[in-house]
Structure 1
Amino acid sequence: MSSIWLNGEFLPADKPALLASDRGLTLGDGLFETIAVKAGAPLRLEAHFQRLRSGADFLGLSVPLADNVLADAVAGIAGANGLPDAAVRLTLTAGPAPRGLPRSATLAPTLLLTVGPLPGDLPPARLIIATRTCRNEHSPLSRLKTLNYLDSIVARNEAQARGADDAILLNSRGQVAEASAANLFVRLDGHWLTPPVTDGALPGTMRAALLKAWGAGERSLLPVDLDRAEEMVLTTALGIRPVSAVSG
């Protein structure tokens, strides 16, 4: 039987995990991280935990366990489900509370780990540029991996309706920000570039690794820059996916 990990305890996956009053469910009050595990070893854990704690500090949440305990839990949930190669989702919420926006003086945060198989290689992605929504680069939440992904869902639904795999979100100035759930790297004039965080790009863990490994640069990009790209890839914590076309 598959398992989940909830607040330090392994439970059957079919056991109800969240209370109906949990603010993560009712208000999206929380954060998450998606962590790749290969051969039983979680990848880039330090970067994931640093981003989680930074986001939690901004939102006024506490991460109730130390990094070493979380690291053991991430590896443990993959092992408990017989998945040496896995995608582990770590979800942190503000926990159960009465209805309404104000938080109570005492919070009991929820920490939940779930797991699935690590996706295999995907075919090159066909992208569109989203027209139904955009990325708000002025919001500090654009830099956090929050539980609210509605803009991304709207963009992905538009992509599917138009026969594409994913959508590029522009920011309020018409600059390229990212895809619906991935960072974007573009090769121009022999150099890899990616939009800066100030343009609305999420500070992804794979993004940070490739900035260093590829010697890539951060630069504002416009849709016209995509037209002359020599190469393009989408990056997530789980891997790198080449892009075959943008808007045909």
Structure 2
Amino acid sequence: MNRTVFITGASAGFGAACARLYAAQGDRLVLAARREEPLQALRKELARQTAVHAIALDVRRRKAVQEAVERLPAEFREVDILVNNAGLALGLEPAHEMSLDDWDIMVDTNIKGLLYCTRFILPGMVARNRGHIVNIGSTAGAWPYPGGNVYGGTKAFVEQFSRNLRADLLGKQVRVTCLAPGMAETEFSMVRFKGDAAKAAQVYADTQALTAADVAGIVTWVTGLPPHVNVNTLEVMSINQSWGHLAVHREAQGRE
């Protein structure tokens, strides 16, 4: 076993797919997620291949994150790779109709949760002078769309925070990558639409989106490059997704 990999949001989607690929390489895994049942099922599956430590963790709780890191068993304590994957979108309403509670959850998870995990794991990487942090951003952090308001804002933060980490770590052998996927067919839309399967399915209807395995393959590739190579920011979309024309509001003008 080569490295210790700490993955948040590990119970499904990108996180679970990353865990499977790292396990296949023989890397030790620390898997953190809120939902304990799928988390333990994944732990049991991957324990046949590698050493796995699973933590039921809500990254929004700063003290819980601190305790989870401080109480890591000795064989998992030296984290080589942190995949900050925990994140979500809620709702697609315009800003003036959005739920403030949903906004709070997105900010607390996508921004604060990522900050807490980074802050408690990064000092060990700096002390050992090795490590790699992969922050999962989104194309929504660079390209706005109606209803993306706070979700897009949180992912823009992830990208800029990643850049600033690189600036802070100049001279250290600690790498930082922001990976910004576009449309990917995972539980993302089911979460966004709060379990409305019909709405979620419509997002991916009649097209081929990215898969969790696609994104996980990129994460493991980035972290497998020679130690002197840092991929700063990487945006990836399905070939079936691209940018559209600029929106223009048009209104029929009355004539005298």
**TM-score normalized with structure 1 length:** 0.26
Q: Which has the higher helix share?
A: 2
Q: Which structure has greater strand proportion?
A: 1
Question: What is the TM-score when the length of structure 2 is the normalising length?
Answer: 0.25
